[in-house]
Amino acid sequence: MDKFHIVGPTRLAGRVRASGAKNAALPALTASLLTDAPLTLRRVPHVRDIRTLQKLLDHLGVVTEETGGALILRRERPNPEHDAPYDLVRTMRASVLVLGPLLAKEGHARVSLPGGCAIGVRPIDQHLKGLTALGADVQLTHGYVEATAARLVGARFRFDMPTVTGTENVMMAATLARGTTVLECCACEPEVVDLANLLNAMGAHVSGAGTETIVVDGVESLGAAEHAIIPDRIEGGTYLIGAVLTRGDVTLEGASAADLAPLLDKLAEVGASVEVSAEDIRVQGAGDIQSLDLETSPHPGFPTDLQAQYMALMTRADGVATISETVFENRFQHAPELARMGADIRVDGGRARVYGPKPLTGAGVMATDLRASACLVLAGVAAQGETVVDRIYHLDRGYEGMELKLQKLGARVARWSVPMS
Ligand code: UD1
């Protein structure tokens, strides 16, 4: 199991390029199940979640070829079961994104209930309710979802809460349904918009993505398309938070300032200098960082996927910051690890109070989920002395070459590969 060995403190400074968004690439790859024609996807990040999904897609008959920096996916040999077995699904919750496309295209899908990050219960009831509203017969047996429909039929459906992958799953299914589907209370995340753009390039009729109401006029079939995945706002945002945490100066290339607005506003409020140009975003950490409360919420609110990194920042801020996590119920697992590095954090249910500023000191810490890992790595870069972050496989799920990017910014980070005993 790999670890990161970090010697701090260092001031992060320089230029770094955002990779393609993992959370936009995952549904884009599953859209290959909606068509017999090839999909050409550019800017797909080299991260473990993508490789995990490729294995599952391979099982479902999708042949993937990588040429000239693009992934070309084509379902050439569909397996008659249309099944996503537990072994291939358990490590990644987003595997459930194969359900909507398979059902819509093949009339049948059998998908294991997913696993994923240990950050809450994370049910998929909204995915299933949405597909049921489109006329699917959905049964839960032996840990599997079994869904059947001769052909899905357009309907009006309102999600009980905005769910990103839920919106994506039902939106994909609706593209091949007979008639019009109106989805209400949809997630408005940029990744949903990116998927809608891809589906439209394939010949779908999707409108309203990025708002709470998405309308899909079903078509008979979808065709080939070429599409570039949007930049990863969470990955890019992580380096920008690192700039402020280490009083550094980081320029993020190729990112969308509009998608990062909730973070950029916050960084300016805590006292950083934020400059946005057509090509890049430059963030400089000033002398003192102000403590500021934070509440996560669905887009366009502050993303839950940057909450852990923001908590690392608040350990070095002047005053007390209350961080409220409203999206997931168990997403403060980084708090006790930060405390091992000298932070003073008290967690009470969905709220954490961070008492700053506290000097951080290097320690051995354990990554518990994807974004918690990023938080601990940033803290290690800012801390005095040596930090070893264990269970880096969580980080590898979603950050492309993080140690290389951090090294380029001046951090002393090395990957230690430890053979499994
Ligand atoms: C996606 C992102 C993840 C991010 C999250 C919230 C991907 C691959 N992952 O996850 O990085 O942290 O959005 O921005 O895009 N819920 C239900 N029932 C459902 C679905 C969701 O109760 O059927 C609840 C969840 O438990 C959670 C909330 O809705 O409390 C939002 O979750 P959701 O948006 O679905 O997260 P994911 O799509 O899994």
Q: Give the model confidence (pLDDT) of 118-158 as tens digits.
A: 545 568 999 999 999 999 999 998 889 999 999 999 999 99
Instruction: Over range 6-12, report the average pLDDT.
Output: 97
Longest CA pairwise span in the chain (Å): 63
63 C-alpha to ligand 1 centroid (Å): 28
- Vertex 284: Cα angle to 44 and 415 (nearest 5): 50
The active-site residue out of 117, 186, 188, 375 is: 117
Tokens of 104: 């819509």
Evaluate: CB of 94 within 6 angstroms of ligand 1.
yes
Distances in whole angstroms, Cα of residue 267 to Cα of each of 209, 264, 290: 27, 5, 10
Closest CA to 149 of 95, 104, 112: 104
Instruction: Over range 358-367, report the average pLDDT.
Output: 95
305 C-alpha to ligand 1 centroid (Å): 11
Tokens of 305: 């996927």
Quick: pLDDT tens for 29-62: 999 999 999 999 999 999 999 999 999 999 999 9
Please tell me the residue having the least CA distance from ligand 1 atom 19.
Answer: 124
Tell me how far the alpha carbon of residue 14 is from its chain's centroid.
Answer: 25
Average pLDDT, the chain: 95
> Given ligand 1 and candidates 161, 170, 185, which is best to mutate, with the most ligand atoms within 8 Å of its CB?
161
Evaluate: CB of 305 within 6 angstroms of ligand 1.
yes
Is the domain 22-218 a CATH 1.10.3720.10 member?
no
Question: Domain spans of the chain?
Answer: 2-18+231-417, 22-218
413 C-alpha to ligand 1 centroid (Å): 31
Please tell me the residue having the least CA distance from ligand 1 atom 7.
Answer: 23
Quick: pLDDT tens for 263-320: 999 999 999 999 999 999 999 997 889 999 999 999 999 999 999 999 999 999 999 9
With 0-12 CB in 10 A as exposed, 13-18 as middle and 19+ as buried, what is 123? exposed
Q: Which of helix, strand or coil describes residue 266? A: helix
Reported as a pLDDT band with limits 50, 70 and 90, residue 115 is low
Evaluate: CB of 123 within 6 angstroms of ligand 1.
yes
Would you state the pLDDT for residue 117? 46
Q: Where are the alpha helices (DSSP H) in 72-186?
A: 86-89, 99-106, 125-133, 164-175
Please tell me the residue having the least CA distance from ligand 1 atom 29.
Answer: 163
Strand positions, DSSP E, 288-420: 294-295, 319-324, 344-348, 351-356, 364-366, 385-390, 412-417
Strand positions, DSSP E, 278-405: 280-284, 294-295, 319-324, 344-348, 351-356, 364-366, 385-390
Please tell me the residue having the least CA distance from ligand 1 atom 15.
Answer: 23
Closest CA to 390 of 414, 402, 373: 373
Residue 116 has pLDDT above 80, yes or no: no
89 C-alpha to ligand 1 centroid (Å): 16
220 C-alpha to ligand 1 centroid (Å): 30
In this predicted structure, which of 86-90, 104-108, 208-212, 370-374 has the lowest mean pLDDT?
86-90
Q: Which atom of ligand 1 is nearest to the CA of 22?
A: 8
Please tell me the residue having the least CA distance from ligand 1 atom 32.
Answer: 163
Catalytic: 188? Answer: no
Backbone angles phi, psi at 242, to 5 degrees: -60, -35
Rounded CA separation 61/20 (Å): 25
Please tell me the residue having the least CA distance from ligand 1 atom 20.
Answer: 124
Evaluate: CB of 64 within 6 angstroms of ligand 1.
no
Higher-pLDDT residue of 113 and 221 is 221
Taking 3-state DSSP, the helix, strand and coil percentages for the chain, each rounded to the nearest 5, stand at: 35, 30, 35
Evaluate: CB of 175 within 6 angstroms of ligand 1.
no
Residue 418 has pLDDT above 80, yes or no: no
pTM: 0.97
Rounded CA separation 317/294 (Å): 13
Q: 2-18+231-417 and 22-218 share one CATH topology?
A: yes
Instruction: Over range 347-364, report the average pLDDT.
Output: 96
**Domain 2-18+231-417: CATH architecture, name and number where available:** Alpha-beta prism (3.65)
